[in-house]
Amino acid sequence: MTDSSLSPPIGLTHSPPVSFGGTMRWFSRRPDGGLGMLVQYAVLIVLASVVLVPLVATALGGFKELGDLRANPFGLPKVWMWSNYWDILSGARYWQVLGNSLVIALLTVFLTLALSSMAAFTFAHLHFFGERFLLNYMLLGLLFPAATAILPLFIKIRDLGLLNSHWGIVLPQVAFALGMGILLLRNAFRQLPGELLDAALMDGCGYIRYFFYVTLPLSRPILSTVAVIAFVSSWNNYLLPLVVLNSESRYPWTLGLMAYQGEYSTAWQLVLAFITLTILPAIVMFVMAQKYIVAGLTAGAVKG
């Protein structure tokens, strides 16, 4: 984990806006005293175990028999019950909920990027009457969470005939992500040198071609930040699918996990195996692209 994080993943050659490379000593220029260092590591190790033990116990618990789990929740399984995991992996249910989540998240990311970059482009470069008002209107969505309007939103989705469909989740998710996307992208687009646009317009290149051939290619880092935020929040969303969906075949993994837990509530070992398998994609992605994800989530927060 340490090694891979030292070199940025490919595609990250535009360095992310906030650096986490950490090469500075903070408190003191003198080497720390042995005792102070020891205390610091003790604190770090205790905290790291508090963070990791529940996760490791969950993964190991998935390998146990129920009685074993009861007698010994911490230790290694007495008998490794590979079948707990294998039964889930060989069934359709697990793959279906992950597939649903992936479809919803990819559609959300694509539409969020497309709609917010187009809107941000007009707000960044085109000045027209009412521009300021429209921008502030679109940024209103940043002030409150979707939960506040969830009941009228449910009625709206129902009246539009989108209930129990993936679009009923994707479209509201995009609508609520637009504020963040427009804010981040508009600021980034305005950082691009204005002379570029002046020259392009002079040479007869229209705004739309400029958008596709200059703005978007030059804005990849910030576009990926918006994409990471939209993807993670869609992947982890629970409330909206809970309200919109009612047939289990359309459930994303968050709902599928709760449904599974409801069904097997007396068999913790199976629930633990299911939890482990459903959070695995997020953990794998995080470990593979940690710099990317950390920078995306925190830089987005800082700039927004």
Partner 1 sequence: MTLASPGETIRRPGRSGWLTILIFLPPALLLFTIFVAMPMGEAAWYSFYNWNGYGRPENFVGLKNYVSLIGNAAFTRALANNLIIIVASLAIQLPLALGVALILAKRIWGAVAFRMIFFLPYILADVAAGLIWRFVFDGDYGLASAITGLFGAPPVYLLADKNWAFSAVLIVIIWKYFGFHMMLYIAGLQSLDKSLLEAAEMDGATAVQRFRYITLPLLGPMIRLSVFFSVVGALQLFDMIVPLTGGGPFDTTNTMVSYLYYFGITRMRVGFGSAVGVVLFLFCVTFALGYRRYFMRDD
Shortest reach from residue 11's CB to partner 1, in Å:
19
**Residue 68: partners with Cβ closer than 8 Å, 6 or more residues away:** 77, 78, 79
**Should residue 18 be labelled a site residue for partner 1 when binding is judged by CB under 8 A?**
yes
Give least dist CB 141 to partner 1, A: 5
The distance of closest approach from Cβ of residue 70 to partner 1 in the complex, given in angstroms and rounded to an integer, is: 5
178 binds partner 1 (CB under 8 A): yes
279: number of Cβ within 10 Å: 16
Burial of 117 (0-12, 13-18, 19+ CB in 10 A): buried
Q: Give 93 or 156: the residue with its C-beta nearer to partner 1.
A: 156
Nearest to 15 by CA among 297, 293, 292: 292
What's the closest the beta carbon of residue 274 comes to partner 1, in angstroms? 9
Which residues neighbour 141 within 8 Å (Cβ) at sequence distance 6 or greater? 175, 176, 178, 179
Q: Is 278 in the site for partner 1 (CB under 8 A)?
A: yes
Task: Give the integer Cα–Cα distance in Å for 167 and 104.
Answer: 8
Site for partner 1 in 43-62 (CB under 8 A): 43-44, 47-48, 50-55, 57-58, 61
Shortest spacing between CB 252 and partner 1, in angstroms: 10
Structure tokens at 54: 């529940």
Report the alpha-carbon distance of residue 9 to residue 15 in Å, rounded. Answer: 11
Q: Which stretch binds partner 1 (CB under 8 A): 7-15, 78-86, 88-96, 147-155?
A: 147-155
Tokens found for residue 147: 């939960």
259 binds partner 1, rule: CB under 8 A = no
In the range 112-131, which residues lie near partner 1 by CB under 8 A?
114-116, 118-119, 121-122, 125-128, 131
**Segment 73-112, which members bind partner 1 (CB under 8 A)?**
73-74
